[in-house]
Structure 1
Amino acid sequence: MRYSLRQLEVFLTIARHGNLTRAADELAMSQSAASSALRDLEERFDLQLFDRIGKRLQLNEQGRLLLPRAEALMHQAEELEEALLKHNRAGELRVGATLSIGNYLAVGLIAEHMRRHPGARVHLDVENTVHIVDRVLNFELDIGLIEGEINHPDLDIQPWRPDELVVFCHPGHPLAQTGILNDDDLLAAPWILREPGSGTRQAFDRALHGLLPKLNIVIELQHTEAIKRAVEANLGIGCLSRITLADAFRRGSLIELKVPGRDFHRMLYIILHRQKYRSAGLLAWLELCQPAVPKRSAPGV
């Protein structure tokens, strides 16, 4: 570039004062430095921007033509400088969350983040674990909140908070009278489950190891609410995160079933790309989640 912003700043300040000395004082420059900046600008483009009238500098036609464009450019430069100086403020954040987290936990986190950081914006994408992981890896999301266990060398994976899956049914289902299921009950029941690739399905499959090939899976759905509606219609029994079922259990529209000897506990995770710059907004979000985050990443996840 054949001119500098400093040269334009000198030109604009002289134009405003009509005097080199006052312009130099405002810019905290020596008079000779200000004069040299203006002279270099004029000589570089072989033009004259001022008529010299004694000690007064009066904008000429070329100067008047340049003035509005120079002012606009300097205004944009000042806005850019202000934005750079505000790098320590929370700005726009792109958060990805799996369905249970996105529908039942993320909105509360977003509300608290925006309360703590007025003017901050959060975009939330809700998809299953596989899609969230892919988008974090491709830098399409700043951070992911997921239910599934994954392992990838490019991801920083942090345990976030414990969770538990719950088997449930319609109050009129025959199993509701017993309330406790053995392996025979698990094999005989028609199941309505999340789709493969979801964190919920991954945890369910792990909990029911040894029975999977024989399970009677009648419906696989991508949405938690659709599974709840199907079970409320008494089409089968389901298994979802406890956080998604609290209201239904309270209303009595669904009934919890106990499964002794099967471990339905799991961990929810925060994932970030290892090369992702930890901006002020990202650090603020991590701090918001911090009470539930152990200090070290989960080994072998």
Structure 2
Amino acid sequence: MKYTLRQLEVFLAVAQSENITRAADQLSMSQSAVSGALRDLETQFEIRLFDRIGKRLQINELGRLLRPQAEALLERASALQQSLQQHQAIGELKIGATLTIGNSLAVDLMARYLKQYPEARLQLKVGNTSSIAEQLLNYDLDIGLVEGEINHPDLDIQPWLQDELVVFAAPDHPLASKNLLSDSDLLSAQWILRESGSGTRQAFDWALHGLLSSLNILFELEQSGSIIRAVSSGMGIGCLSRIALQESFDHGTLVPLNVAGRDFNRQLFIALNRHKYQSEGIKRWLQLCHE
């Protein structure tokens, strides 16, 4: 065999960091050892996996083609080593979650996972749907739990849970006394919403099709907590997942508003990179999500 697993580790580390120094730090190797391993790999097959742009190495088309195969091979080699050692450790799992899921569902899932597999190591990264998709495509995450729909040929999007968005206001807001809001009520209000690119905003835009261009949007914020505080102070009305609002509804600090003729139901999804090898840890996390 003309290549080594170490060379593949170097290739993937450089592909991720686009820098020899950072790759060397990641692998606890010297810079010269990293450069030599990458050079040997390319020389043995008379190929180039990166374009050299100053001190930066940018993965080229061939490198992008080979990257998922190298990733899968190293995952399998690691799994084989664990089996040979008769070691049942799950290892590290990098989970990405959109804001509502990250704050309300993911932590509970992590606690249940660690109760079953206490030897596992979990990382949670929270961002909007587009950010989670980008990290999955770049192999920075193993699993994504997202609120918005994603259309990308390299991502496997699986339906997960049903959710509902709720329009809400402070109890003393003028619209809080109305039994049912009409389109004219929605157009008269000041709105405080999630930012474009978030799954919550995507579902809101679908629900209010035909009115979007005429809505009075006061703020667009990235944090649900900031939206809740702004709406509580009477600055306007908002629309978030019932999951994020239920506690405020229970305490009476916010009230739900009923909207006529608008569908605020939505689907939550699990997202995976189609080309990434599904380790035992990924399989057990997926099993937990569907229990």
Aligned counterpart, 2:134: 134
Amino acid at match of 1:217: I
Q: What are the superposed Cα offsets for residues 180-200 of structure 1, whole Å, 9 maximum, x if unpaired?
A: 210000000000000000000
Contact 1:87–1:280 (CA under 8 A) maintained in structure 2 = no
Matches within 5 A, 1:4-23: none
Which secondary structure state, in structure 2, belongs to the residue aligned with residue 145 of structure 1?
strand
Aligned counterpart, 1:66: none
Amino acid at match of 1:108: D
Using the TM superposition, give the Cα deviation of residue 89 of structure 1 relative to its aligned residue in structure 2, in angstroms.
3.6
Q: What are the superposed Cα offsets for residues 56-103 of structure 1, whole Å, 9 maximum, x if unpaired?
A: xxxxxxxxxxxxxxxxxxxxxxxx955754575421100000000000
How many angstroms apart in 1 are the aligned matches of 2:255 and 2:84?
54
Aligned counterpart, 1:65: none
Aligned counterpart, 1:279: 279
Amino acid at match of 2:165: L
1:238 aligns with 2:238: yes
Aligned counterpart, 1:157: 157
- The alignment covers a number of residue pairs equal to 212
Amino acid at match of 2:185: D
Aligned counterpart, 1:202: 202
Contact 1:145–1:270 (CA under 8 A) maintained in structure 2 = yes
How many angstroms apart in 2 are the aligned matches of 1:254 and 1:264?
18
Aligned counterpart, 2:21: none
Moved over 6 A (4+): none
Which secondary structure state, in structure 1, belongs to the residue aligned with residue 290 of structure 2?
helix
Matches within 5 A, 1:73-152: 81=81, 85=85, 89-152=89-152
Closer, same or farther in 2 for the Cα pair 1:225/1:179, shift >3 Å? farther
Aligned counterpart, 2:247: 247
How many angstroms apart in 2 are the aligned matches of 1:82 and 1:148?
36
Aligned counterpart, 1:226: 226
Aligned counterpart, 1:214: 214
Identity %: 58
Taking only aligned residues, the RMSD between alpha carbons, in angstroms, comes to 1.4
Which secondary structure state, in structure 1, belongs to the residue aligned with residue 269 of structure 2?
strand
How many angstroms apart in 2 are the aligned matches of 1:236 and 1:167?
11
Matches within 5 A, 1:45-56: none
Amino acid at match of 2:146: I
Amino acid at match of 2:238: G
Closer, same or farther in 2 for the Cα pair 1:215/1:86, shift >3 Å? farther
* Pair member with larger Rg: 1
How many angstroms apart in 2 are the aligned matches of 1:229 and 1:178?
22
Aligned counterpart, 1:290: 290
Contact 1:179–1:256 (CA under 8 A) maintained in structure 2 = no
Contact 1:89–1:280 (CA under 8 A) maintained in structure 2 = no
Unaligned runs of 5+ in 1: 1-79, 292-301
Using the TM superposition, give the Cα deviation of residue 179 of structure 1 relative to its aligned residue in structure 2, in angstroms.
3.5
TM-score by length of 1: 0.68
Amino acid at match of 2:121: R
Q: What are the superposed Cα offsets for residues 118-158 of structure 1, whole Å, 9 maximum, x if unpaired?
A: 11111000000000000001100000000001111101110
Unaligned runs of 5+ in 2: 1-79
How many angstroms apart in 1 are the aligned matches of 2:105 and 2:229?
20
Aligned counterpart, 1:68: none
Which secondary structure state, in structure 2, belongs to the residue aligned with residue 181 of structure 1?
coil
Contact 2:137–2:273 (CA under 8 A) maintained in structure 1 = yes
Aligned counterpart, 2:174: 174
TM-score by length of 2: 0.71
How many angstroms apart in 1 are the aligned matches of 2:82 and 2:135?
30
